[in-house]
Amino acid sequence: MKSKSTSKKSTAIKICGITNTSQAKEIAKLEINAIGVIAVKSSPRFVPEEKRMEIFQEVEKISSKIEKVLVIANEKIDKIRNLKNFSTPPSVVQLHGEESIDFCIEIKNIFPEIKLWKAFRLKSINDLKKISQYEKNVDAFLLDAWDEKSLGGTGNRIPIELLVNKTFKKPWILAGGISAEIIPEIFSKIKPDGIDASSHLEKSPGIKDLEKVKSLVRAIREH
């Protein structure tokens, strides 16, 4: 992830599940590191293609340094190829499904200029074992909480103890039930390269409470 701080140890901030253009602009002005837009139709935060391009365009106007993250899950390659037609394409594709290593390799070949992040949902220590197999073929990992019915945006938290003393060869981003209130607890136990927040910052699915977003950004930067 890109870091706007001069400190190499600063934690990058991603706000995901953006559905509103004006909110995207306001959040981008907070000088965060990444904004995520959901292209998974089953998600309550799903954003149609035309609206995605509009959001990315407005974020780009605020700062070209902010990663524009397109979140997809179990999508077919043929449907992903049209990203090249975006007037403002994503700078990151985040895979949030059960994508294989071969799928990741193919995406990197098609879009060598776009970063690739792979999400993993963690329930137990066994879920961490397969991550290392992907390290050569992605730019970062996103670790989210496991849920029986949903791929993400559940508000569930990862059992932090699974990640204590765990290291990865690529940058990793912590997601799942993130809010300002739990940042001190997280940072007292683990040091993720990035923090990804969505549902705990919302008034309703896809509509952020900007005061909660500001509080989270403050809490992360103070630590």
pLDDT digits (tens, 9 = 90+) for 19-38: 999 999 999 999 999 999 99
Does residue 2 carry a pLDDT above 70? no
Total domain count for the chain? 1
CATH number at residue 140: 3.20.20.70
> Within a domain: residue 151?
yes
Residue 191 burial class via C-beta count within 10 angstroms: exposed 0-12, middle 13-18, buried 19 and up:
middle
Does residue 153 carry a pLDDT above 60? no
Q: What is the pLDDT of residue 4?
A: 44
Does residue 6 carry a pLDDT above 50? no
- Residue 92 sits at φ, ψ, to 5 deg, of -140, 135
Q: State the pLDDT confidence band at 78, using cuts at 50, 70 and 90.
A: confident
> Within a domain: residue 1?
no
| Residue range 32-53: mean pLDDT, rounded | 96
Q: Which range of residues forms the domain containing residue 89?
A: 12-222
Rounded distance, CA 89 to CA 114, Å?
Answer: 9
Residues 6 or more apart whose Cβ sits within 8 Å of residue 205: 17, 44, 45, 153, 199
